Chains A and B, each alone.
Chain A
């Protein structure tokens, strides 16, 4: 029994490849069911996001990786394994813990993947058993600890999120605030969308071409204005976002001074994401005006990303400890069916030998026969107690697999033990 992960991610495959092997939620369980039939998969969870498609599996005696590659290749139209990776046992466990914690994400420490892992597990519950259920449950707990005990997910990691982080640091929540966006291009639309999502109460879109401002405003429930009109409303806004393609600053010191004089002490946050800059840098010296340009936003992002990286060793230590804990449990699990089989074989042997002996001792009274039965039971339990305890201990401290194999070899236990049979999966379900 082994834990395997095979898949394709942003680490080795371009978006065009990842798109082709992405699965919709409704496709997850049928894919796993087919793999169970074709590749001897015992348990499976399929994780499919925009950055990765990975299949976590518990395999029996047959290697499931070729079946997984075959499935992915059929969607891709070419050999999928050329873009992907296969990891087994400890490496597979460690991989999932890294993925769930956002350490394997395109943006280090991103939080979204935690929910995607949880959703994938939930969607595939009918195909997972004791091993994968515990693995995914642990991965989510590990991810939670990584997020709370390290700063791996703290701070904005993109320019737009850095802009929001700065605005939030001034106003707290942006809900109920007023915002004005200068410009109606792609960046302006993205910024306006972010602001609307943050709950700004009233947004104004101002652009040299009124029709473009009107179109953008209509898409996001904002108010459109022409450049010439918008300056009169500037004293009312809390956040001014500038993203025009003007060759020189459109927000001048004079315009801002007039606007600020009508604001009393209310702070104004100006986010200038245009290149060249839309805002005269002298504006930043005005009282209660907080001016940030692209360089400042990039500085925020760089600082945050560096800080996230500096937390990697702490996160790796935490994950390594949790991988060992899970591995101990998993190897301990492998001793259970062998022990059951081993004791079953011994019991069978005892019954046979006692029956043979009693056939030669037919003068014994029922009470004497019971004593002989009891003696055989007692002897067998005493003989097996030491090996049973040691086997359990060895399995628990991570040496289980080798010793389990040794027990199988020494006592001639074949692989068709009851616990390894088809009922094994149901038994594992019961362990959760």
Chain B
């Protein structure tokens, strides 16, 4: 049942991306309401799957690789839904919905096996750290998706190609604004997540070095964009390039630590 709900949610995410891509097949605007409905259906189904899973293990479904990936996919999809609802513009779904479907699919493939979760205040502390970190990563991913779209569209505009991307991507200024807001949100989420993680490590004398390395790397990356945007006056291409490259690097770092790290099994 939980696996089926996951697959249904994945189908909704892919469906939303496919519907958002209709302008590339036919020169009419993407049906905003349809895309948002599909995304919302995916998020609701995904939430039901996570609630069912949490009930089955009697714990918050965040620890363990499978549950963590599923939760990451859920947070990313929910963030995307929020952004698209506010903007009433669905081209970001083209990049971000598959990005949400990907970890959810991996979670289902490797299996939803829960990790060990400490009880009481310690458990709540851990839960808060993981949840805030995921929110931060989801916002960072949104900034990267907007940045990537910015670079694609900029290339089209500079090379004077007036095809589907020119017609149906949002204006560069909109993508730049999404990148800005998402970078700040990502920095806030990850900062709180990392602070809680550090305090947790000190309080309980528990240190997961690979996790700390990855978390710190992600925080440095997103802080770089946030500081650059707010204090350095970064915008447009520079911010788009930096957010796209650093997010890709953070993902690669995750894969590298996961595959080759000394404590691969313990790491999310």
Q: What is the interface of chain A, defined by CB distance below 8 A to chain B?
A: 149-151, 154-155, 166, 168-172, 264-267, 284, 287-288, 290, 292, 296, 299-300, 303, 307, 310-311
Q: A265-B238, A288-B237 are in contact. Are A172 and B171 (CB under 8 A)?
A: yes
Q: What is the interface of chain B, defined by CB distance below 8 A to chain A?
A: 26-29, 153, 157-158, 160, 162, 166-167, 170-174, 233-239
Q: A169-B157, A300-B162 are in contact. Are A311 and B173 (CB under 8 A)?
A: no
B236 close to A267 (CB less than 8 A): yes
When chains A and B are docked, how far (Å) is the Cα of A290 from the Cα of B154? 9
B166 close to A169 (CB less than 8 A): yes
Complex contacts, B27 vs chain A, CB 8 Å? 151, 154, 307, 310-311
A169 close to B239 (CB less than 8 A): no
Within the complex, what minimum Cβ distance (angstroms) separates B190 from chain A? 24
Closest to A302 in B: B162
B172 close to A292 (CB less than 8 A): no
Within the complex, what minimum Cβ distance (angstroms) separates B242 from chain A? 11
B160 close to A287 (CB less than 8 A): no
Closest to B234 in A: A265
A155 close to B167 (CB less than 8 A): yes
B235 close to A290 (CB less than 8 A): no
When chains A and B are docked, how far (Å) is the Cα of A300 from the Cα of B160? 9
* Apart from A151-B26, A267-B236, 19 more pairs, CB < 8 Å: A154-B167, A155-B167, A169-B166, A169-B171, A170-B171, A172-B170, A172-B171, A172-B172, A265-B233, A265-B235, A265-B236, A265-B239, A267-B172, A284-B158, A292-B160, A299-B160, A300-B162, A303-B162, A310-B27
Within the complex, what minimum Cβ distance (angstroms) separates A118 from chain B? 23
When chains A and B are docked, how far (Å) is the Cα of A311 from the Cα of B23? 13
Closest to A300 in B: B162
A172 close to B167 (CB less than 8 A): no
Q: A172-B173, A265-B236, A265-B238 are in contact. Are A151 and B162 (CB under 8 A)?
A: no
29 contacts between A and B (CB under 8 A): A149-B28, A151-B27, A154-B27, A154-B29, A154-B167, A168-B171, A169-B166, A170-B157, A170-B172, A171-B171, A171-B172, A171-B173, A172-B171, A172-B172, A172-B173, A172-B174, A265-B234, A265-B239, A266-B236, A287-B237, A288-B236, A288-B237, A296-B160, A299-B160, A299-B162, A300-B162, A303-B162, A307-B27, A311-B27
Looking at A169, A264, A300, the one whose CB has the most chain B CB atoms below 10 A away is A169
Within the complex, what minimum Cβ distance (angstroms) separates B181 from chain A? 14
7 nearest A-B residue pairs (beta carbon): A151-B27, A172-B171, A172-B173, A265-B236, A265-B235, A151-B28, A307-B27
Complex contacts, A310 vs chain B, CB 8 Å? 27
Within the complex, what minimum Cβ distance (angstroms) separates A299 from chain B? 6
Complex contacts, B235 vs chain A, CB 8 Å? 264-266
Closest to A155 in B: B167
Q: A171-B171, A311-B27 are in contact. Are A290 and B162 (CB under 8 A)?
A: no
Q: A151-B28, A154-B167, A299-B162 are in contact. Are A169 and B172 (CB under 8 A)?
A: yes
When chains A and B are docked, how far (Å) is the Cα of A300 from the Cα of B166? 10
Complex contacts, B174 vs chain A, CB 8 Å? 172
Complex contacts, A264 vs chain B, CB 8 Å? 233, 235
Complex contacts, B237 vs chain A, CB 8 Å? 265, 287-288
Closest to B153 in A: A169
When chains A and B are docked, how far (Å) is the Cα of A399 from the Cα of B92? 52
When chains A and B are docked, how far (Å) is the Cα of A311 from the Cα of B27? 8
Complex contacts, B28 vs chain A, CB 8 Å? 149-151, 154
Closest to B172 in A: A170
Within the complex, what minimum Cβ distance (angstroms) separates B179 from chain A? 12
Complex contacts, A265 vs chain B, CB 8 Å? 233-239
When chains A and B are docked, how far (Å) is the Cα of A266 from the Cα of B162? 22
Within the complex, what minimum Cβ distance (angstroms) separates A173 from chain B? 8
Looking at A168, A265, A292, the one whose CB has the most chain B CB atoms below 10 A away is A265
When chains A and B are docked, how far (Å) is the Cα of A171 from the Cα of B162? 16
When chains A and B are docked, how far (Å) is the Cα of A296 from the Cα of B162? 9
When chains A and B are docked, how far (Å) is the Cα of A265 from the Cα of B240? 11
Complex contacts, B171 vs chain A, CB 8 Å? 168-172
Within the complex, what minimum Cβ distance (angstroms) separates B42 from chain A? 25
Closest to B233 in A: A264
Closest to B166 in A: A169
When chains A and B are docked, how far (Å) is the Cα of A149 from the Cα of B167? 16
Closest to A310 in B: B27
B157 close to A290 (CB less than 8 A): yes
Within the complex, what minimum Cβ distance (angstroms) separates A300 from chain B? 5
Within the complex, what minimum Cβ distance (angstroms) separates B258 from chain A? 35
Within the complex, what minimum Cβ distance (angstroms) separates B210 from chain A? 36
Within the complex, what minimum Cβ distance (angstroms) separates B212 from chain A? 34
When chains A and B are docked, how far (Å) is the Cα of A150 from the Cα of B28? 6
